Structure 1
Amino acid sequence: CNISVRDIIHSQYTDQWYTLNDVKSGRVHLVLEWVPTVSEPDRLDQVLQLQSLQSYQNKAVPSAALLFVYMDRAHSLPFKKSGKEPKAGAELVLGKTTYRTKVCDRTNSPQWDEAFYFLVRDPREEILIVKLSSAWDQAIGSLVVPVKELLSEPDLVLDQWLSLDGASPDSQILLRAELKILNSKMTEGVGVQQGPETIPLGRDSEELVTATNEEEQHSEVPSEESVAVSSQPSISESEEEEVVFKAAKEDPSPPETLPTHTSPDPSFDTEIEESEDGEVEEPITITQQSVTADTEDLQPWHGPTAGSGIEDIARATVSSLPSVSVPEEAEAMPDVFLETRPPHTTPNPSFGTEGVMRIHLLEAQDLVAMDKLMGGLKKGKSDPYVKINIGGVKFKSLVIKENLNPTWNEMYETVLTPQAREEIQVELYDKDIDSDDFLGRLSDVIRSQYTDQWYTLNEVKSGRVHLLLEWVPTVSEPDRLDQVLQLQSLQSYQNKAVPSAALLFVYMDRAHSLPLKKSGKEPKAGAELVLGKTTYRTKVCDRTNSPQWDEAFYFLVRDPKEEMLIVKWLRLDGASPDSQILLRAELKILDSKIVELIGQGTLPCAAGNCGQVKLSLSYASKEKKLTIAVHACRGLESSSKDGLDTYISLMLLPDKTKATKRKTSVKKRDLNPEYNERFEFDLSVEEARRRRLSVSVKNSSASFRSSDIIGQVHIELAQIDMASGVTEWFDLKEEAE
């Protein structure tokens, strides 16, 4: 049968049997309700009480409110590390719902003018998180808005400039957050008296449902209380509210040219769109079939997401990892609890002893040709890739097409204990359409703290593979962090891997004074820990207000200055002011030997790398000039103790005439020379895009018999955004491709 949505909206509420069409017999009983919204915070308690009195087989929980968010604009956003303005986009997360705005063109003051909505189960517990990033790959800043704060705002509306955490002091975002309570007709049957309640199913039904406090009549739908371990000192709830909502003290009001409030479309905060003739276009269609429903399937479409909201919170929320403070006493608790409650955790002595095994897959040589040509009359090629297995953790490289001497330049990480005895298993294969051919395996892989060598492949006629293996221990020395982060900027890998800077160890000890469930029973408490894309869950304890887990976890941390650990309650109906958790969070810096090598002027980068050169490339359309700035080199290698006498030669290929050649001055005895010289070429933008820039770092003091080329790189100018300009470090190879 088809049911008009317009009729439901006009009738507000209907409870009746509907006859099924196109079949001999059958009817279905539906309660259909159009639930409007009101800006009356006093209605919230009745709505939440209605939640507690209803239970459904599909474990659905009626929403209590709608949160409308209008993303207007931002101003004074920081520049990217490259010096360019950001391509700013915003990600909005509330519970499991995630939205993304459009990505604006490069500007420090993006304007979105986009509206979104969220279904809110309990406004007193849920949190809206807004995360800004440049093209979704570089975090800019974040904003945390507890939905409960809107309950104290006039008309439940927050409309103002708010400061961004993790950005510059002047960075602000203008948004409008409007909370509207869902005013269900069913709440009219919810009284305020104590004891059993009766709720009518509908105006056409004579049956009544008696709701009691027995848990068996309620579906135990776990709600979650998020506890973000913050870098801020311990503050009271009122102080925390001030931190979240106040504008920057340095600039209490935005510049005069900026609006003080948003100006959303008049349709903002309306829940349904009508056609031009006022008719609602989509009817409800009901067919008789077997359906298995899941609560998540019943949610409205939430727009494009990059994964579940909570999985991405830590990655893009730029807040430093905290030093964790554990309260030593709780004044509101009786003395008897203070005597038995430990002030600190007591983890196992092995807690926090793990380190990281880094495997750098560099290159291979002389692999067997498995793909025969002309029936084997002509030597063919192979499409090699590598499988690595260490302690059950598996990695797989990219496939290099038609190459017997492939270069991968990939890096993998896995966490191990120092006493681990797992073997590193390395196998090479040739990728084929049907079944992949075996190209050899390694045995007797050396497991010293640092080794860089070629390994001969076994069980094949020829072939060897170049690996750099490093055991990276941890240290509790914060001064080492800047050096480790510098290592990240000096290394790049084909598989886009970024070396971790630290390990975060978290010991979940116990909690106390957890609230009873709505049914009056003690909770079966568990916790979920989230950092970046890594999520762990503790065990679920038996019913108790004071669960004890005694479980340890670890996280690989790329940048401790930006990432955030989030601890969420599971199977808990909120928390009380006395509820506390006892945990230990220990951050240890990864002490890579490569950092030491960089300090000595040696950069063990990717396969065949001979250091790096820093260039700036840009094109001036009016002058029709290609400008190349040669800044510096770093990590050059020399067999001589006296260093190198270097200069840089530039050439615009395919021409090799004098007009296309330039070179810098010579820098004496320096493995990290600085040039800071600029060169210009007169040519049209079309001609520039057809050119390939050849950059050669040369040794001016090379002997007659030895090559003067230290390293080269070829850059296809068609792949460079020359209009905006680019400045970056380029890897030097022994022989440019």
Structure 2
Amino acid sequence: MERPPGEDSSPSAMDQPSAHSDPPDQPPAAHTKPDRGSGGQPAGPGAAGEALAVLTSFGRRLLVLVPVYLAGAVGLSLGFVLVGLALYLGWRRVREEKERSLRVARQLLDDEERLTAKTLYMSHQELPAWVSFPDVEKAEWLNKIVAQVWPFLGQYMEKLLAETVAPAVRGSNTHLQTFTFTRVELGEKPLRIIGVKVHPGQRKEQILLDLNISYVGDVQIDVEVKKYFCKAGVKGMQLHGVLRVILEPLIGDLPIVGAVSMFFIRRPTLDINWTGMTNLLDIPGLSSLSDTMIMDSIAAFLVLPNRLLVPLVPNLQDVAQLRSPLPRGIIRIHLLAAQGLSSKDKYVKGLIEGKSDPYALVRLGTQTFCSRVIDEELNPQWRETYEVMVHEVPGQEIEVEVFDKDPDKDDFLGRMKLDVGKVLQAAVLDDWFPLQGGQGQVHLRLEWLSLLPDAEKLEQVLQWNQGVSSRPEPPSAAILVVYLDRAQDLPVIPKMVTSEFYPLQLKKGNKEPNPMVQLSIQDVTQESKAVYSTNCPVWEVAFRFFLQDPRSQELDVQVKDDSRALTLGALTLPLSRLLTAPELTLDQWFQLSSSGPNSRLYMKLVMRILYLDSSEICFPTVPGTPGAGDLDSESPQVGSSVDAPPRPCHTTPDSHFGTENVLRIHVLEAQDLIAKDRFLGGLVKGKSDPYVKLKLAGRSFRSHVVREDLNPRWNEVFEVIVTSIPGQELEVEVFDKDLDKDDFLGRCKVSLTTVLNSGFLDEWLTLEDVPSGRLHLRLERLTPRPTAAELEEVLQVNSLIQTQKSAELAAALLSVYLERAEDLPLRKGTKPPNPYATLTVGDTSHKTKTISQTSAPVWDKSASFLIRKPHAESLELQVRGEGTGALGSLALPLSELLTADQLCLDHWFTLNNGQGQVLLRAQLGILVSQHSGVEAHSHSYSHSSSSLSEEPEVWGAPPPITSSAPELRQRLTHVDSPLEVPAGPLGQVKLTVWYFSEERKLVSIVHSCRALRQSGRDPPDTYVSLLLLPDKNRGTKRKTSQKKRTLSPEFNERFEWDLPLDEALRRKLDVSVKSNSSFMSRERELLGKVHLDLAEIDLSQGAAQWYDLMDDKDKGSS
């Protein structure tokens, strides 16, 4: 808070240490901290006092030079001194700003009425709430009560910290056994309540109070760890916010109020003045980080949706509902667009004005969403949708802030705020909202979704959501609130645990667990806090989930020890059970699986359908955008006296298009590397922590670090798109990872031309520029083939040779040639745009050049992409104009290329906005490896044999298990032969099972199913579940993804179990093919099972095989 005009800016007389004035050259510190002698009294005015002041000043200046001297003594550069000086200056600036803020805030609170009377002309944001809002009343009587109680509250806090908190801290860590609170004082400045506002409440049984609190205190809390001579503390604090107090339920007996709930509606503002070692937290960067961490802790405890509940009567009903009530509703926020934003980008030192790169932050309470950035656009179109839970009406606000994205600090473009009560009243609010603090407007569509306990509305909601355009997430149809109450009779930790299911070896003797709970729905996981040393924990916490389709989703509950290595119990609950429950609610005990015989979990699950009441919809008048009326009044002039040349039907790329290859680089191992690590000043010789860096064709790759090993094994695979341009080399360097600068361990180079000509290279390469060391590389050329018949085998072999630490291997190469576009939309109806295009597959993008002022640009852009899953990926094309935003887009699923002739599409494509077309060529090539154990058996494509006389062994198999490439090709051909036995009545599943001895893992790949049984009207939603018997716990269970409505699903998913070979041979693999279609039943429909005895399978072969599915009664393998 700034000081009003006319107010003396100097500190009051109370703050002055003495009345005399100091000499001009006296340091400012002399005004606030007078020099004291050994007796603690100020130095006298005589000669002794003056001499002591001079010595003190000289000592301070000498102390400043000590770090400079030490830096020179140890040989540090001048940069360290400058960095230290910068940190000190930043720290001092932050400290002075905090002290000034505390001093001004205290003066305001000391004489609030006088200062308010002198500043009536100030804005409402700078006035107390009781002045700004007439329905907010002063509560001086309450402040007097707080002031009188404050010293006794300080005594209680001192007793609490000394007798409860300090012993808990000392027992938490052996290094903190000497932790003590040396000083606990709440100070003389009590918390003040600036204003009070009373709301009637949603129900008659509750009263709502909003308290505007402000605490500018001289609190001082000091702590010390005597063992390490470490002191820290807090001296002064500011806290400002609106605290909501809810008195409910009102009862007909004393004390009339059953319970009190308290929480902050919005995050309060916090400012802490640190002392001692915690002074470091005032360094710029650390200051904001520490304050944010503290505020996050407060928010997790006292900011909506979290609240503090204090029951006032015993045996209060519905305590869980009071502690975590259902949300009042859901607001679906459609962030559509903005217009008329200010331009923040400047060029040539501000002489040339650019535009802005706007993005928006949407907030409601603790829920925050960030939109994508629209480059160089003052009228951006976002069209994004967010869903937020509303817990309190009135009080919560929707806030939208617009920023300009910059490399350093983002520029503020404006904000708008809207009370959620207006959305509740309107049900649907579609309007342009002006931005405050800037210029322009933002277009929002706000929909209030009511929470209904009616399952009959679900089908209607799902049909409505199918027509809702929503990104980045699909619209939700329901919410689920899980009240996690407690658990009983969880298993204690065993005396010794050494099996693969408990990988951590625990201390001897039975031990009470520290249970925590993980709740998951699809890819959303939430965790509870751990309750220590008990097998009957009480959590009393709520979790909230958005549901897209509760008919097919399920809640997965895992009870684990705090280390997360031990599973104490599990539960899988299909959400379809809730749809048939009364009021869509289950409030009961649930028996845990993979746990003790009496282990169970008490939860209350409440589902609510998100329903938009169409009878309440209203659409406010939307203002037209500037220049919109000109669209009909003007149109571009067309026609010419000269006939235009005919439009080409196909692209004409140059001769080099589509000639790329893919180089697959296997970084296997190294030997005899030099040792770089030294300890004890070089007296003790260690080893090295090696890793590999590769550079080729403008791309760089880096392997993982192998700790303390001079003969490391990496087994990593990298892939890069290469051309046949001569002179290229693969540059490989080996380094030792260190904390400061990595040490060089050698380099080697391989000619790319040599690899492309031979097709394969497997060699030990001697490392150069070092005394010893060599590196084992395997390089393989993959040439794209235009035939889809080989794709299944490529995916299968890729899953076999896939290593754990490598990215997923590419199965195809996509080559794209974007030649031109035509009929792009004009700017403001008359001006041609400056178009460019972006081609994207996954996280890889290529951008064309920008063509000035034309609606028919010619780009001639070529791009290539590595494709890992051709059936699931797509090519995204975005056409944009500089200064005009999006001109059109196109999404081309690569599955369309798989059915095209020669896997190629070459023609005009219409953009999705209906305006404009692009001439594009997209061709796919399957990457068939001749040296990984697969060779195509397609009659439609002929390929010349490799120049090598011998083919190497299968890469990816463990060293003791050897198999030549022809043998594996023979097995694959035999398995997929059309002469094999036809599928049984229930269908078949294709599996690969083998043991990877190098990593001591049992590996299974689920490839696909075929000829499955259809029991209903629609094909099943199929997935495969694998269970490693005899254990039936979550640790051995694996499950594939779900494939919608198909009798021949393709999975190609790999699963691993960590266990020794002898243990694997004693196990049985239970494979179940299930359908998720029957949503009205708790159990998933079983389509068939396969029961494999691993002792009867040759785990060294790793061959794919079709297995007949059996009924659940038949346990024999096929």
What is the TM-score when the length of structure 1 is the normalising length?
0.46
Q: Which of the two has higher C-alpha Rg?
A: 2
With CA pairs under 8 Å and 6+ residues apart, which has the higher RCO, 1 or 2?
1
